[in-house]
Chain A
């Protein structure tokens, strides 16, 4: 979530502040509370993952690089025996390196195909460290999670069909700045333990003695398979997950696993209540998407609510379509105060998990609901590049052996073939004794050909929508029809769309680039409206996003849906003249950057100022009332494919 207008409010490292601003509990004391548990819990998590890395899936460690994280990493790697492989996955890892493939050097040397093992295979029995996990490419992460699921690496590449069993844990280092930037949901779902070290001070992390020693860990490994768990504890963990709105069943399963590991660490062979509470704190707490007890003044803002019905994991204020979950929740609510009577177990577990609920959950929730509604599943920075990778091979060119290139083996051989006799002759002259062991094919560096890929450049269409009080999107059928037409057009062309709305004092990105047009439409449908028209802020926001997209190597087109004249300037203050001047200035920047743009004027009477603005922007101008669907479609084609 990038709130352009309120950039100053952004706390660089942590959840963004709630726009509702009603959710600021006494911060210092809460911070102290968090400080007390975060680091010991991180150390506990390290020992748990050391017992059974593959079983718990791994750990997501959210923190900037720094001494605290380094200490934690040193602690966790120190808990593994020396023989256990610890591999690091670089950010832009290629499939060759990740999955394995043809080892060209060895192949050429030996004269027969030699397979190279990938990182996913090498990590078997140990840990894979995923650096900058929030930026990892969705495609690489999907290969990784597939291995976590099946316990084997399936390689169907370069003429090899191989299956390597491989089980490992993943330590995902998440250096995301805001809540938008984080590892993909698929990865977070599979890694049992989620840590946030961003608020742990260096002084605190001074004590880095794990709560259990190596002997206890080794002992736990042996004991783990025998540790049993009673039904009531499984139920307590599952009930807690529901009460906290942790929808995925994997999380509940992982909580059970962590509870068993905790018991094994303590040397007992049956899970006790304290093991379950520890598991709830480590696994379920950080995943909470709602508070178990709704407090009236802390309920999400109306705008967050309005986007809720899209997501079945409904908040406590939406009891309609989730009766079982809700009844559990009500139970929990009514029981929490009287404790120890009916279901003390579940209460204990729930309380433990509550203690681990991240600071400022409400603020995060708000960001999160919107984020979920926006359909972002994290890992966006990486997903961005998926379009550019691979593609259809189109011939080969001369090249050299270096990481990241795909050698066109056959073309290489074809080039080498005519020279064979000559080269053989050369060799036999040079070292007459050695001829019989020389490889069958003699390939020289000059022969190497590498595959060229035809890349399909992805296009992102950014919709910047005027959501001010005057906006007619919700009242004008034409406007709605126009947007749907535009979206349908994107769908046909497999474009991604992004959505920016501007109203009141500023603009915000409601939907980062996504292929899910359904969500774009939903988001438009529940667009929060009202306030002034800060057109300049809207244009600026679109320009910033567009530049980022272009930097990623994709093309971009802009569609502005505007209604009436701007009346809020860049500084967030009113005043028509100033606002118009700012908007014109912003439009000039668009023209300079050369982004293809379309300005759709939704107002009842087309404004001359809007036409001028489009002119400054070098955009196609389209007054809506006169545009029928065909004109509009043509205009979009012209505006977005041209220029």
Chain B
């Protein structure tokens, strides 16, 4: 891929851009799922984000992107790269594409064929999951992903560890990544288990007003005519986003989450009847990341309310046959929780 369409040049789609920034600032919010109309720049946005992520330190030469700050225990057994003498390397946070048609051996890793065939040696060739460790794993057309790969991803995403027991190999290595998926709901539905894996979920629509549409077409055309010049032109804007992410990442650990905010999050989740704690946790983390992006010191209702739809919509107890209902229910609950309180205070 030569030039990538700049993130900041994407017209509108603020929800999508914000959700991606939140995930970039705090990777623990869990993945982002973007479903929606064709040609709305879903995959463009994800691929553009990759160019804006800050670097991270890794053990030099380690194919599993191990964190030098951590002990060797977290790493694959017998990791030979971790050595007190070698200085850690710095790579940009990886965004690994899982292309359609990928075979299982390339996803989880397998015997290194070259070594087997050429030297009769049995060595492990790490797969995409190893490359995505501590970064992002992106699946375009996620709803077209073959079932056996979905199972595999669910397994790894749940345990944060990739265990390979095949072809006489027995390897386990850490694989913690942010799952980012995009697709068009008309092509097929997503398995509910996979849906739950995403921290944030949102739907994008084609803009319908002429002005926005003209702007989208115009920028796209400018980009295609001269990608280099276009990227150059947007560089200052892109740098602003880079700064935003970097500052956010720096600040996020220090953002205060007061008890009031925790209670409010619990209140929303109870009112919505979301199952489990994951929703509440994601809600708080996403709100905290948003506060960090905005440069706020503490999480308030403003952030909670802003992220609640993306953090919770896909967690409402599912009536698989009623999709418009969940949005309406969410809006109603949010109004109830926030506005009633506001009126009283």
Q: Which of A151, A156, A375 contacts B2 (CB 8 A)?
A: A151
The answer on a CB contact under 8 Å between B111 and A185 is no
B15: Cβ under 8 A from any A Cβ: no
Tell me how far the C-beta of A356 lies from the nearest C-beta in chain B, rounded to whole angstroms.
20
A197: Cβ under 8 A from any B Cβ: no
Interface size class of A (residues with CB under 8 A): 35 or more
Give A155 to B103 CA distance when docked, in angstroms: 9
Q: Which of A98, A248, A328 contacts B38 (CB 8 A)?
A: A248
The answer on a CB contact under 8 Å between A112 and B216 is no
Q: Which of B127, B187, B322 contacts A377 (CB 8 A)?
A: B187
Among A101, A138, A161, residue most surrounded by chain B Cβ atoms (within 10 Å): A161
Chain B stretch 109-127: residues in CB contact (< 8 A) with chain A? 110-114, 116-118, 120, 125, 127
The answer on a CB contact under 8 Å between A235 and B43 is no
Q: A55-B224, A225-B226, A252-B217 are in contact. Are A158 and B103 (CB under 8 A)?
A: yes
B213: Cβ under 8 A from any A Cβ: yes
Q: A146-B100, A440-B118, A517-B189 are in contact. Are A325 and B105 (CB under 8 A)?
A: no
Q: Which of A146, A234, A494 contacts B214 (CB 8 A)?
A: A234
Q: Which of A102, A225, A393 contacts B225 (CB 8 A)?
A: A225
The answer on a CB contact under 8 Å between A324 and B214 is no
Interface window among B139-147, B236-244, B250-258, B278-286: B139-147
Q: A150-B1, A250-B38, A441-B117 are in contact. Are A235 and B214 (CB under 8 A)?
A: yes
Give A517 to B116 CA distance when docked, in angstroms: 47
A581: Cβ under 8 A from any B Cβ: no
Among B1, B110, B217, B322, residue most surrounded by chain A Cβ atoms (within 10 Å): B217
Residues from chain A with a CB closer than 8 A to the CB of B226 are: 225
The answer on a CB contact under 8 Å between A242 and B167 is no
Residues from chain B with a CB closer than 8 A to the CB of A98 are: 101
The answer on a CB contact under 8 Å between B101 and A517 is no
Interface window among A484-492, A569-577, A631-639: A484-492
Give A392 to B152 CA distance when docked, in angstroms: 11
Give A238 to B11 CA distance when docked, in angstroms: 15
Tell me how far the C-beta of A436 lies from the nearest C-beta in chain B, rounded to whole angstroms.
16
Give A146 to B112 CA distance when docked, in angstroms: 27
The answer on a CB contact under 8 Å between A516 and B189 is yes
Residues from chain B with a CB closer than 8 A to the CB of A163 are: 1
B39: Cβ under 8 A from any A Cβ: yes
Give A441 to B117 CA distance when docked, in angstroms: 7
The answer on a CB contact under 8 Å between A156 and B39 is no
A239: Cβ under 8 A from any B Cβ: yes
B274: Cβ under 8 A from any A Cβ: no
Q: A231-B218, A248-B206, A312-B205 are in contact. Are A157 and B320 (CB under 8 A)?
A: no
Give A159 to B319 CA distance when docked, in angstroms: 41
Residues from chain A with a CB closer than 8 A to the CB of B211 are: 324
B70: Cβ under 8 A from any A Cβ: no
Q: A156-B102, A235-B210 are in contact. Are A257 and B189 (CB under 8 A)?
A: no
Q: Which of A165, A235, A322, A413 contacts B116 (CB 8 A)?
A: A413
Give A151 to B113 CA distance when docked, in angstroms: 28
A178: Cβ under 8 A from any B Cβ: no
B220: Cβ under 8 A from any A Cβ: yes
Give A235 to B213 CA distance when docked, in angstroms: 9
Chain A stretch 423-478: residues in CB contact (< 8 A) with chain B? 440-441, 456
Give A102 to B147 CA distance when docked, in angstroms: 23
Among B38, B104, B106, residue most surrounded by chain A Cβ atoms (within 10 Å): B38
Give A639 to B309 CA distance when docked, in angstroms: 40
B321: Cβ under 8 A from any A Cβ: yes
A399: Cβ under 8 A from any B Cβ: no
Residues from chain B with a CB closer than 8 A to the CB of A312 are: 205, 208
Among A152, A156, A161, residue most surrounded by chain B Cβ atoms (within 10 Å): A156
Give A241 to B99 CA distance when docked, in angstroms: 32
A274: Cβ under 8 A from any B Cβ: no
The answer on a CB contact under 8 Å between B117 and A242 is no
Give A234 to B218 CA distance when docked, in angstroms: 7
Give A88 to B155 CA distance when docked, in angstroms: 39
The answer on a CB contact under 8 Å between A239 and B210 is yes
Give A135 to B114 CA distance when docked, in angstroms: 38
B107: Cβ under 8 A from any A Cβ: yes
B301: Cβ under 8 A from any A Cβ: no
Q: A150-B1, A234-B214, A235-B214 are in contact. Are A156 and B107 (CB under 8 A)?
A: yes
Give A257 to B214 CA distance when docked, in angstroms: 14
How many residues on B have C-beta within 8 angstroms of the other chain's C-beta atoms? Answer: 67
A518: Cβ under 8 A from any B Cβ: yes
B37: Cβ under 8 A from any A Cβ: yes
The answer on a CB contact under 8 Å between B38 and A515 is no
Tell me how far the C-beta of B322 lies from the nearest C-beta in chain A, rounded to whole angstroms.
8
The answer on a CB contact under 8 Å between B320 and A149 is no
Q: Which of B1, B114, B188, B221 contacts A234 (CB 8 A)?
A: B221
The answer on a CB contact under 8 Å between B105 and A231 is no
Give A231 to B221 CA distance when docked, in angstroms: 12
B263: Cβ under 8 A from any A Cβ: no
Give A547 to B171 CA distance when docked, in angstroms: 47
The answer on a CB contact under 8 Å between B146 and A517 is no
Give A146 to B120 CA distance when docked, in angstroms: 37
Give A248 to B105 CA distance when docked, in angstroms: 37
B68: Cβ under 8 A from any A Cβ: no
Give A237 to B210 CA distance when docked, in angstroms: 10
The answer on a CB contact under 8 Å between A516 and B107 is no
Give A159 to B107 CA distance when docked, in angstroms: 10
The answer on a CB contact under 8 Å between A229 and B221 is yes
B186: Cβ under 8 A from any A Cβ: yes
Tell me how far the C-beta of B182 lies from the nearest C-beta in chain A, rounded to whole angstroms.
11
Residues from chain B with a CB closer than 8 A to the CB of A235 are: 210, 214
B27: Cβ under 8 A from any A Cβ: no
The answer on a CB contact under 8 Å between B209 and A488 is no
Q: Per-position contact with B for A348-361: 1 when CB-CB < 8 Å, else 0?
A: 00000000000000
B184: Cβ under 8 A from any A Cβ: yes
Q: Per-position contact with B for A248-266: 1 when CB-CB < 8 Å, else 0?
A: 1111110011001000000
Q: A143-B100, A325-B208, A409-B113 are in contact. Are A159 and B38 (CB under 8 A)?
A: no
Q: A253-B220, A325-B209 are in contact. Are A494 and B186 (CB under 8 A)?
A: no
Residues from chain B with a CB closer than 8 A to the CB of A151 are: 1-2
Q: A143-B101, A156-B106, A393-B104 are in contact. Are A410 and B111 (CB under 8 A)?
A: yes
The answer on a CB contact under 8 Å between B217 and A238 is yes
Q: Which residue of B lies closest to A118 (CB)?
A: B101
A404: Cβ under 8 A from any B Cβ: no
Give A521 to B319 CA distance when docked, in angstroms: 11
Give A159 to B225 CA distance when docked, in angstroms: 37
Q: Which of B218, B221, B320 contacts A257 (CB 8 A)?
A: B221
Among A102, A142, A151, residue most surrounded by chain B Cβ atoms (within 10 Å): A142
Q: Per-position contact with B for A319-349: 1 when CB-CB < 8 Å, else 0?
A: 0001011001000000000000000000000
Chain B stretch 302-336: residues in CB contact (< 8 A) with chain A? 319-323
Tell me how far the C-beta of A195 lies from the nearest C-beta in chain B, rounded to whole angstroms.
21
Known: A146-B140, A392-B148. 14 other contacts (CB 8 A): A112-B114, A146-B99, A146-B141, A150-B43, A157-B101, A234-B217, A235-B210, A248-B37, A249-B39, A324-B210, A440-B120, A484-B321, A516-B188, A517-B189
3 A-B pairs with the lowest CB-CB distances in the bound complex, closest first: A324-B209, A154-B99, A250-B39
List 27 A-B residue pairs with CB atoms under 8 Å apart, sorted by A's residue number. Answer: A98-B101, A101-B103, A111-B118, A112-B117, A112-B118, A113-B113, A138-B187, A142-B144, A152-B1, A156-B127, A157-B103, A159-B114, A185-B186, A186-B38, A238-B213, A241-B213, A251-B39, A252-B217, A253-B216, A257-B224, A324-B208, A390-B146, A488-B321, A491-B321, A516-B185, A517-B189, A518-B323
- Residue numbers of A with Cβ under 8 A of B are 55, 95, 98-99, 101-102, 107, 111-113, 138-139, 142-143, 146, 149-152, 154-161, 163, 165, 184-186, 189, 225, 229, 231, 234-235, 237-239, 241-242, 247-253, 256-257, 260, 312, 322, 324-325, 328, 375, 377, 386, 389-393, 409-410, 413, 440-441, 456, 484, 487-488, 491, 494, 515-518, 520-521
